[in-house]
């Protein structure tokens, strides 16, 4: 099969798919990794600096989560375009889609290599093998790593990076008769690693003394243990046999449509450009499916990275906020670590809540349905509470022959409560304190308390213990709810006659319904 036969060819000896080469890989993942690593290096440094770094990571992650849910939906924008059968039918500033064949022998000149044939875009990645410095509470650690940029430290002073990274594109693309500007072009299909054996070095590459070593062009500088050596890797997006373009018609050429203005560090990190200028493999429907899948994948990656960043950022902040406590013997280090874990939990919850709110506010229909369902649920609860309150009030009316005022209900509750706690013939000191709190709550005078107590004594034997408890529950439910103080009094009074928690709850429900 020819090299550029499809954007999704089967793996071959000359190129293969590399997950990290995918253009949808957002830099926010690298941001989370970098910030976490920098925070680790600063453990021995100032807690203030590290704490600020944690706050930055937390704020940036929350911002990324929010912006990600409100990102430009290039799938819907592409879906809304009208297919253009002929280029001659297009008018200025029209948003359109066009499907056609592409030249699979498209050739681009390289820098270190002669040329690339059959690719829409080629990414060149240059790395240098050098010292990486890490620092933590136990000291400084050195390791040798391949890195895209030379780390500035004492052991790398004599190294110089000669090879450069770049993205290589032609001046224009051609889909059938349609000419497309490459500036701000967007791709969603997979990139593949290009094996150096399929490429020919240019004069510059030869002068640089590049050699083939595995999957790389290698520049050996003769340093000990390969230190200072450099390497090049190429990844390419093959030209498809058929492609669909989505974008805007300019003056004789298809150009980027800036649908939404996006700016700032966070938008750049999550690759939210607000642009419709997409060249995708396949017929229109196939291309739309690819756009939809790419957008969903990108959103999920940022969601995971955002919540992870918020979790670690909050943990770093709280850990360093309480670092002064480590000097307190025994409990200090424990509290310090605990605050870090609690901070991580707080950051995770904050990220999750932000995600839910951002998702709902970015989906008007879902938000409307959520509000409608919430409103319906609250209305149903209100109606149910109103029905139960009306039922209890009816039962009280049948028992007393009238419905008492709010003040009278308080008096009736006190009488039944007094009778229940006095059932065993003795009111303890703690029970008397409970009764005193009840009288103070209603601001009754001493004479009123004496009057109610006397009435309670006179009516003590008129009803059974269970009837007294049922009456107390009814009087408590008369206003539609049992507050915390009333519930505590009910539980104590019920306990005096042997009615425990589950049975009391059952009685309350039965009196509301029966």
The whole-angstrom separation of Cα 100 and Cα 106 is 15
**279-288 average pLDDT score:** 97
Look at residue 169 and tell me whether its pLDDT is greater than 70. yes
pLDDT of residue 31: 56
Note whether 261 and 384 are same-domain residues.
no
What angle (nearest 5°) sits at the alpha carbon of residue 271, between those of residues 266 and 272?
80
**304, 331, 359: which is the final residue of a domain?**
359
Torsion over CA: 349, 351, 357, 359 (sign):
negative
User: Parallel, antiparallel, or unpaired: how do β-strands 82-83 and 95-101 relate?
Assistant: parallel
Confidence of residue 339 (pLDDT cuts 50, 70, 90): confident
pLDDT more than 90, % of the chain: 48
The string of pLDDT tens digits covering residues 465-504 is: 888 888 888 888 887 778 888 888 888 888 878 888 788 8
Q: Which residue would you say has higher pLDDT here, 465 or 68?
A: 68
Write down the mean pLDDT value for the chain.
85
- Residue 1: predicted pLDDT: 34
C-alpha 460/C-alpha 422 separation (Å) is 9
pLDDT bracket for residue 514 (50, 70, 90) = low
Whether 383 and 327 share a structural domain: no
Query: Which residue, 329, 359, 389, sits at the end of a domain?
Result: 359
Is 70 exceeded by the pLDDT of residue 228?
A: yes
- How far is it, in rounded angstroms, from Cα 440 to Cα 429? 16
Give the residue numbers spanning the domain of 425: 373-513
Residues 72 and 145 in one domain: yes
Q: Is the same domain home to 322 and 457?
A: no
Residue 337 CB-half CA count within 13 A: 4
pLDDT digits over 3-59, tens only? 333 333 333 334 443 433 343 445 555 555 555 555 555 444 567 788 888 899 999
* 392, 350: one domain: no
Distance in angstroms (rounded) separating the CA atoms of residues 321 and 336: 8
In a domain, 108, yes or no: yes
- Would residue 336 count as lying in a domain? yes
- The count of structural domains within the chain is 2
Q: Indicate the residue among 359, 384, 414 that finishes a domain.
A: 359
**Is there a single domain that holds both residue 188 and residue 277?**
yes
Question: Is pLDDT at 249 greater than 50 in this prediction?
Answer: yes
Residue 398 has pLDDT above 60, yes or no: yes
Report percent pLDDT > 70 for the chain.
88
Three-state secondary structure readout of 165-201: CEEECCCEEEECCEEEECCCCECCCCCEEECHHHCCE
Q: 208 and 142, same structural domain?
A: yes
Residue 366 located in a structural domain: no
Matching residue, tokens 């819907």: 76
Q: Decide: residue 114, CB within 10 A, 0-12 exposed, 13-18 middle, 19+ buried.
A: middle
Residue 428 phi/psi, 5° resolution? -75, 170
Residue with tokens 């453990």: 43
pLDDT score recorded for residue 272: 92
- pLDDT at 323 > cutoff 90: no
Rounded Cα gap, residues 388 and 511, in angstroms: 9
Shared domain for 234 and 336, answered yes or no, is yes
Rounded Cα gap, residues 434 and 452, in angstroms: 15
Pairing of strands 139-147, 15-17: unpaired
Residue 228 shares a structural domain with residue 316: yes
pLDDT at 401 over 90: no
What is the torsional sign of CA 360, 366, 372, 377? negative
CA 275: distance to chain centroid? 23
Question: Under 8 Å CB-to-CB from 93, ≥6 apart: which residues?
Answer: 248, 249, 250
Same domain, yes or no: 332 and 397 = no
Q: Please report whether residue 9 resides in a domain.
A: no
pTM over 0.75: no
Q: What is the pLDDT of residue 146?
A: 94
pLDDT at 120: 96
**Residue 1 resides in a domain:** no
Residues 264 and 351 in one domain: yes
* Residue 247, strand partner residues: 96
Whether 186 has a pLDDT exceeding 90, the answer reads: yes
What's the pLDDT score for residue 24? Answer: 41
Looking at residue 449, its pLDDT comes to 86
Looking at residue 413, what is its pLDDT? 83
Q: Are residues 299 and 418 in the same domain?
A: no
């Amino acid at each position: 099969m020819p090299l550029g036969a499809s954007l999704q060819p089967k793996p071959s000896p000359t190129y293969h798919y590399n997950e990290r080469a995918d253009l949808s890989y957002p830099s926010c993942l690298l941001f989370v990794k970098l910030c976490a690593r920098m925070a680790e290096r600063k453990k021995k440094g100032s807690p203030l600096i590290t704490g600020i770094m944690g706050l930055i990571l937390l704020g940036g992650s929350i911002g990324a989560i929010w912006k990600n849910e409100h990102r430009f939906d290039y799938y819907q924008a592409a879906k809304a375009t009208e297919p253009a059968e002929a280029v001659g039918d297009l008018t200025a500033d029209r948003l359109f889609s066009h499907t056609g064949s592409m030249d699979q022998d498209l050739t681009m000149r390289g820098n270190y290599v002669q040329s690339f044939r059959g690719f829409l875009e080629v990414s060149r990645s240059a790395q240098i093998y050098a010292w990486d410095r890490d620092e933590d509470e136990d000291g400084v650690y050195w390791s040798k790593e391949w890195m895209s940029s030379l780390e500035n430290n004492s052991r790398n002073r004599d190294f110089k990076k000669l090879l450069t990274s770049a993205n290589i594109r032609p001046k224009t693309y051609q889909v059938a008769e349609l000419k497309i500007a490459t500036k701000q072009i967007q791709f969603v299909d997979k990139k593949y690693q290009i094996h150096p054996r399929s490429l020919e070095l240019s004069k510059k590459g030869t002068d640089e003394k590049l050699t083939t070593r595995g999957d790389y062009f290698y520049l050996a500088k003769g340093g000990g243990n390969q230190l200072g050596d450099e390497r090049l890797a190429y990844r390419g997006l093959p030209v498809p046999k058929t492609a669909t373009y989505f974008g805007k018609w300019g003056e004789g050429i298809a150009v980027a449509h800036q649908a939404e203005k996006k700016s700032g560090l966070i938008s750049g990190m999550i690759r939210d450009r607000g642009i419709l200028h997409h060249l995708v493999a396949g017929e229109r429907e196939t291309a739309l499916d690819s756009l939809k899948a790419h957008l969903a994948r990108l959103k999920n990656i940022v969601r995971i990275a955002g919540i992870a960043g918020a979790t670690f950022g909050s943990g770093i902040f709280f850990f360093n906020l309480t670092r002064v406590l480590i000097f307190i013997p025994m409990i200090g280090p424990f509290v310090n670590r605990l605050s870090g874990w609690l901070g991580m939990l707080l950051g995770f919850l904050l990220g999750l809540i932000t995600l839910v709110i951002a998702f709902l506010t970015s989906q008007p229909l879902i938000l409307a349905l959520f509000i409608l369902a919430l409103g319906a649920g609250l209305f149903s609860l209100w109606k149910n509470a109103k029905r139960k309150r009306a039922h209890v009030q009816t039962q009280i009316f049948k028992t007393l022959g009238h419905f008492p005022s709010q003040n009278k209900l308080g008096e009736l509750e006190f009488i039944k409560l007094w009778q229940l706690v006095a059932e065993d013939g003795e009111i303890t000191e703690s029970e008397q304190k409970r009764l005193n709190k009840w009288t103070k709550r209603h601001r009754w005078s001493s004479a009123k308390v004496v009057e109610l107590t006397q009435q309670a004594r006179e009516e003590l034997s008129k009803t059974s213990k269970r009837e007294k408890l049922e009456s107390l529950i009814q009087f408590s439910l008369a206003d539609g709810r049992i507050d915390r103080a009333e519930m505590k009094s009910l539980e104590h009074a019920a306990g005096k006659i042997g009615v425990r928690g589950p049975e009391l709850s059952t009685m309350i429900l039965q009196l509301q319904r029966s």
